[in-house]
Amino acid sequence: MTGEVTGMTTAYIWALLGMAIAVTYLWRGLGTTIVAGLDPDSPVLQWVACVAYGLLSALISRIIFLPVGVLENTELVDRVGATVFGFVMFFLFRKHIGIGTLSAAGAFGVMVWARSQGFI
């Protein structure tokens, strides 16, 4: 078996890849066609936006207050402190999401490192 998947030829793999690409771009094209005719201020799309923001805030809250995996080993005060710091930086820099996100991640990393070194 030299570089070949059992039971599959190279042509078969390329055909599968081509079909996957075609289906992906088909749905993207249909999405842009459908969206072009929608009014962004319609009540239905406003409801969809509210649901999306609600789900995102619930996910972030769950990550902060009920973490799983590696985050379980970190302190709650580190997670909350980094989140608050990120929000402060977000508003100080005129709602720049990149600065808010990177500063929160950096603050979290520094707090976890400082706690592991015994500084906190």
Nearest Cα to 86, choosing from 72, 65, 70, 107? 107
Is the CB of residue 10 less than 8 Å from the CB of residue 4? yes
* Average pLDDT value for residue range 81-97: 96
Residue 3 has pLDDT above 80, yes or no: no
Residue 62 has pLDDT above 80, yes or no: yes
Dist CA 110 CA 86 (whole Å): 13
At 39, the pLDDT band (50, 70, 90 cuts) reads: confident
Q: Six-digit token pair at 33?
A: 């066609």
Mean per-residue pLDDT of the chain: 92
Residue 1 has pLDDT above 60, yes or no: no
Dist CA 68 CA 102 (whole Å): 22
Q: What is the pTM of this model?
A: 0.66
